[in-house]
């Protein structure tokens, strides 16, 4: 079912009559990244004025008022519901899709088949919708897909340490359903861009322009994540700011890459704005800082004296973190579309996380 979200949604660009309204579609808009992305899309739309495409957001749950504020239309609906997506196709002329909806790595391991259904089935539906859009309006649809370091898989901690900084094309043996699904999403995007309906006589050449980033763990000052395995980083700092004790579910020596939410949003903006000719691949690593859980805890404790942090590793979640790389080679992103991180761990704390989080919990 496609339910327009009732209260509070502002609809300056509501589609009228038979003309479809140009739109940007964001799925999974209620998640952590949706919050940051929609704020940025709204800011860009304000600058573009009346020429800006409508911002259309959907999520399986009702969206929070501050997210609805950023959108022209919001819908409660399931990306696995093909009939609902067909109705969106009839209402909007979608030029860009940001497909954020997914079940993350920890949640996915409790229900792997459901994760596959949502993460792969939902992605195919969105790619199909984008390709159909391109067929009906005759223009390529830009498609952004957030992939993840979960696409990698190291056999052991020793293998992970030996691998060090990994490039996009190595160690692609994911240990989680979510990681398998992200890797498949990358392949499906490439397929829909270059090979979709290869043998059909009425084939549209390159219906979509697929661009993807393998994100590390992301830390936001505004929201607390749920269902992921990199959640220990953001959870630790939010708990300390809220004056709550925190039991970290991985060993102190666990190390994976992280970045702040503004860096992640900046990466999406840069990649989506890059001229196609400058892109040498469809999926890119990005990197910022790679602290151990102990580095994180030390900085949290020096920032919030009295913060209670203990380490009680959970074997299952630890094994997921041990399979993810310590650091990622982002040289292709730097070269092709000018990626560069804005922070070290210390400046991320000092300049972004701590001031905003203190304000949030004041």
**Where on the chain is the footprint of ligand AKB (CB under 6 A)?**
104-105, 148-150, 178, 215, 217, 228-230
Which CB atom, from 97 or from 150, has the smaller least distance to ligand AKB?
Answer: 150
- At closest approach, how far in Å is the CB of 140 from ligand AKB? 27
Give the dihedral of Cα atoms 232, 234, 236, 242; nearest 10 deg: -140
Nearest residue relative to ligand AKB (C-beta): 228
Which CB atom, from 26 or from 84, has the smaller least distance to ligand AKB?
Answer: 26
- At closest approach, how far in Å is the CB of 175 from ligand AKB? 12
Which CB atom, from 207 or from 217, has the smaller least distance to ligand AKB?
Answer: 217
- At closest approach, how far in Å is the CB of 283 from ligand AKB? 14
φ/ψ of residue 360, rounded to 5 = -60, -40
> Residue by residue, what is the 3-state secondary structure of 46-67?
HHHHHHCCEEEEEECCCCCHHH
Half-sphere exposure of 356 (CA within 13 A, CB side): 16
Which CB atom, from 45 or from 265, has the smaller least distance to ligand AKB?
Answer: 265
CB 362 within 8 A of CB 230: no
| Whole-number Å distance between alpha carbons of 334 and 183 | 22
| Whole-number Å distance between alpha carbons of 28 and 61 | 9
Q: In Å, what is the CA distance from 167 to each residue of 89, 170, 197, 214, 270?
A: 37, 6, 31, 11, 20
φ/ψ of residue 299, rounded to 5 = -70, -40
CB 201 within 8 A of CB 195: no
> Given 92, 178, 232, 246, which residue is catalytic?
178
Which CB atom, from 33 or from 45, has the smaller least distance to ligand AKB?
Answer: 33
- At closest approach, how far in Å is the CB of 108 from ligand AKB? 8
φ/ψ of residue 131, rounded to 5 = -65, -40
- At closest approach, how far in Å is the CB of 255 from ligand AKB? 13
Active site residue 178: yes
State the catalytic residues: 178
């Amino acid at each position: 079912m496609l339910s327009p979200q009732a209260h509070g949604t502002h609809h300056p660009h509501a589609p009228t009559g038979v003309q479809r309204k140009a739109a940007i579609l964001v799925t999974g808009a209620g998640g952590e990244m949706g919050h940051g992305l929609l704020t940025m899309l709204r800011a860009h739309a304000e600058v573009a004025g009346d020429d800006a495409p409508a911002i259309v957001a959907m999520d399986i749950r009702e969206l929070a008022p501050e997210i609805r504020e950023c959108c022209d239309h919001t819908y409660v609906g399931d990306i696995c519901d093909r009939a609902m997506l067909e109705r969106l196709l009839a209402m909007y002329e979608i030029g860009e899709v940001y497909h954020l909806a997914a079940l993350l790595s920890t949640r996915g391991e409790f229900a792997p088949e459901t994760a596959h259904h949502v993460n792969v089935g939902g992605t195919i539906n969105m790619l199909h919708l984008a390709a159909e859009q391109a067929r009906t309006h005759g223009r390529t649809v830009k498609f952004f897909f957030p992939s993840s370091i979960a696409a990698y898989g190291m056999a052991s901690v020793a293998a992970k340490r030996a691998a060090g900084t990994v490039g996009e094309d190595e160690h692609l043996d994911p240990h989680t359903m979510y990681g398998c699904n992200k890797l498949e999403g990358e392949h499906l995007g490439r397929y829909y861009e270059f090979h979709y309906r290869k043998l059909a006589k009425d084939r549209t050449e390159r219906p979509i322009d697929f661009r993807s980033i393998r994100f590390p763990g992301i830390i936001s000052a505004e929201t607390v994540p749920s269902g992921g395995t990199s959640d220990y980083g953001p959870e630790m700092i939010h708990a300390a700011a809220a004056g709550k004790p925190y039991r970290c579910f991985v060993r102190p020596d666990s190390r994976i890459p992280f970045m702040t939410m503004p860096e992640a949003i900046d990466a999406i903006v840069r990649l989506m704005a890059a001229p196609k000719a400058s892109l040498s691949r469809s999926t890119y690593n990005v990197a910022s800082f790679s602290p151990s859980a102990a580095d994180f805890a030390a900085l949290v404790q020096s920032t919030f004296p009295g913060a209670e942090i203990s380490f009680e590793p959970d074997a299952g979640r630890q094994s997921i973190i041990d399979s993810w790389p310590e650091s990622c080679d982002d040289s292709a992103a730097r070269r092709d579309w000018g990626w560069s991180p804005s922070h070290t761990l210390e400046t991320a704390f000092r300049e972004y996380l701590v001031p905003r989080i203190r304000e949030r919990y004041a």
